């Protein structure tokens, strides 16, 4: 009789343990996360939509909702508000935010724009051939545009009088039309979008001039996946899952850009597929597949280059105690190098 009672007791305990494990596994699989893109749905955000569509997040026990953004700088404030759990934002703006809000630290965990898509775009007829030529000229700049917010970095590097630049606050969707019509002389731009948008308006490719910040001695990185520092501390397995899913989608995109654009079009059928294919090609060639990425792999940064970037940004934003590279970029969640080298 005693043995029978022990059997029943053990069976009951086993059933309870099984039920608890099932509940725990279900809860983990249902971890709800909201992701904020850097901008409206276009080529740059296509890989994240591809990750959702192919179930890469779900395989990591994550249910991710992807929302359009309002600019790379806005990603930081969206995450800080608690409305979003992670996003595709600018590392430089994140550094500034961390310095101003030490209690709400954020970290980048996967670099995507190895070459910052921050620059000045103008047309040949403007006569602007160098950033210094902007002095005394009209420049269209959306308030949340990262290139505009970091213009002091470029001005400082070139010893420019930035007060002589006549910035005009314009809505993001109007900057290329205003430039094309000659209502501004230049725009603070996101070149992958501005270049394609100008072509769509009828501009001659040979008339479009792009002046990247990095071409004028400014050492910086740009957009990648950003998470709150507390998520790294409290839910490292979630961060690892995010990075793994995002990485798979970006490697898929590099191998087959059309797959990512198809996922984008399925999200918004009004999107011009051909236009976004051009934009994706621009991203991959000019912002993503650099010599450094071919050496260090997708998602990584060079510590010395990042240190230089931190020094530049800290000087411009008057950060008294610049962070270390480890306090800005956390590389612990990256897949092995052999899995991150683009073909």
DSSP string, 60-117: TTEEEEEE--S-HHHHHHHHHHTS-SEEEEEHHHHHHHHHH-GGG-EEEEEE--SS--
Task: Clarify whether residues 107 and 160 are in a common domain.
Answer: no
Residues in a beta bridge with 224: 89, 111
The pLDDT > 90 percentage for the chain reads 78
Helix, strand, or coil (residue 165): coil
Task: Clarify whether residues 179 and 33 are in a common domain.
Answer: no
Task: Choose between 8 and 235: higher pLDDT.
Answer: 235
Task: Clarify whether residues 127 and 198 are in a common domain.
Answer: yes
Task: Clarify whether residues 51 and 197 are in a common domain.
Answer: no
Residues in a beta bridge with 33: 64
C-alpha closest to that of 174 among 161, 183, 166, 165 = 183
- Give the model's pLDDT for residue 29: 57
Residues 6+ apart with CB under 8 A from 261: 43, 46, 273, 276, 277, 280
**Does the structure show a pLDDT above 70 at 2?**
no
Please check whether residue 3 lies inside any domain of the structure: no
Mind listing the pLDDT tens digit for each residue in 249-272?
Answer: 999 999 999 999 999 999 999 999
**Does the structure show a pLDDT above 80 at 3?**
no
Please check whether residue 83 lies inside any domain of the structure: yes
Q: Is 113 left (phi over 0), alpha (psi -120 to 50) or beta?
A: beta
Task: Clarify whether residues 245 and 143 are in a common domain.
Answer: no
Task: Clarify whether residues 62 and 144 are in a common domain.
Answer: no
Please check whether residue 64 lies inside any domain of the structure: yes
Range of the domain at 266: 26-115+221-339
Taking the C-alpha atoms of residue 194 and residue 172, their distance in angstroms, rounded to an integer, is 10
Please check whether residue 8 lies inside any domain of the structure: no
Task: Clarify whether residues 225 and 211 are in a common domain.
Answer: no
Task: Clarify whether residues 57 and 187 are in a common domain.
Answer: no
Mind listing the pLDDT tens digit for each residue in 141-189?
Answer: 998 787 898 898 899 889 999 999 999 999 988 999 999 999 999 999 8
Please check whether residue 143 lies inside any domain of the structure: yes
Taking the C-alpha atoms of residue 244 and residue 242, their distance in angstroms, rounded to an integer, is 6
Q: How many residues does the chain have?
A: 343
Please check whether residue 7 lies inside any domain of the structure: no
**Does the structure show a pLDDT above 90 at 18?**
no
The total domain count for the chain is: 2
- Give the model's pLDDT for residue 321: 84
Task: Clarify whether residues 204 and 225 are in a common domain.
Answer: no
**Does the structure show a pLDDT above 60 at 4?**
no
C-alpha closest to that of 342 among 304, 302, 285, 260 = 285
- For residues 27 and 233, the answer to whether their CB atoms sit within 8 Å is no
Q: For Cα atoms 33, 58, 19, give the angle at the middle one, nearest 5 degrees.
A: 95
End residue of a domain, out of 185, 216, 247: 216
Say how many Å lie between the first and final Cα of the chain, rounded: 68
Token readout for 290 is 């650099």
Residues 6+ apart with CB under 8 A from 248: 51, 54, 56
- Give the model's pLDDT for residue 155: 93
- No. of helices (H) and no. of strands (E), the chain: 15, 10
End residue of a domain, out of 216, 233, 259: 216
End residue of a domain, out of 170, 188, 216: 216
Task: Clarify whether residues 202 and 236 are in a common domain.
Answer: no
Task: Clarify whether residues 210 and 237 are in a common domain.
Answer: no
- For residues 260 and 154, the answer to whether their CB atoms sit within 8 Å is no
pTM of the entire predicted model: 0.83
CATH number for the domain harbouring residue 246: 3.40.190.10
Task: Clarify whether residues 103 and 233 are in a common domain.
Answer: yes
Please check whether residue 19 lies inside any domain of the structure: no
Please check whether residue 197 lies inside any domain of the structure: yes
């Amino acid at each position: 009789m005693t043995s029978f009672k022990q059997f029943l007791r053990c069976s009951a305990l086993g059933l309870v343990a099984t039920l608890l494990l099932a509940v725990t596994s279900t809860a983990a699989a249902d971890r709800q996360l909201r992701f904020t893109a850097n901008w409206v749905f276009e080529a740059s955000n296509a890989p994240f939509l591809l990750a959702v569509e192919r179930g890469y997040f779900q395989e990591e026990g994550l249910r991710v909702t992807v929302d359009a953004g309002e600019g790379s700088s806005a990603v930081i404030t969206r995450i800080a508000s608690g409305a979003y759990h992670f996003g595709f934002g600018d590392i430089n703006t994140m550094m500034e935010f961390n310095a101003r809000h030490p209690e709400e630290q954020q970290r980048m965990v996967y670099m995507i724009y190895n070459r910052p898509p921050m620059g000045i775009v103008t047309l040949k007829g403007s006569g602007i051939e160098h950033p210094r030529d902007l002095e005394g000229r009209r420049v269209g700049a959306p308030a949340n545009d990262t290139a505009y917010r970091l213009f002091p970095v470029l001005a400082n590097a070139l010893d420019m009088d930035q007060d002589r630049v006549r910035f005009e606050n314009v809505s993001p969707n109007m900057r290329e039309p205003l430039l094309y019509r000659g209502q501004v002389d230049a725009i603070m731009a996101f070149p992958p979008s501005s270049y394609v948008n100008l072509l769509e308006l009828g501009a001659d490719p040979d008339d479009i001039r792009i002046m990247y910040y990095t071409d004028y001695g400014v050492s910086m990185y740009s957009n990648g996946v950003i998470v709150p520092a507390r998520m790294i501390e409290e839910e490292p397995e979630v961060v690892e899952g995010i990075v793994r899913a995002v990485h798979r989608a970006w490697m898929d995109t590099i191998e087959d850009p059309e797959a990512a654009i198809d996922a984008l079009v399925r999200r918004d059928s009004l999107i011009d597929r051909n236009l976004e294919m051009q934009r994706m090609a621009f991203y991959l060639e000019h912002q993503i597949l650099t010599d450094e990425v071919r050496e260090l792999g997708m998602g990584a940064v060079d510590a010395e280059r990042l240190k230089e970037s931190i020094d530049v940004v800290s000087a411009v934003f008057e950060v008294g105690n610049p962070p270390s590279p480890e306090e800005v970029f956390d590389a612990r969640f990256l897949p092995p190098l052999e899995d991150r080298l683009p073909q």
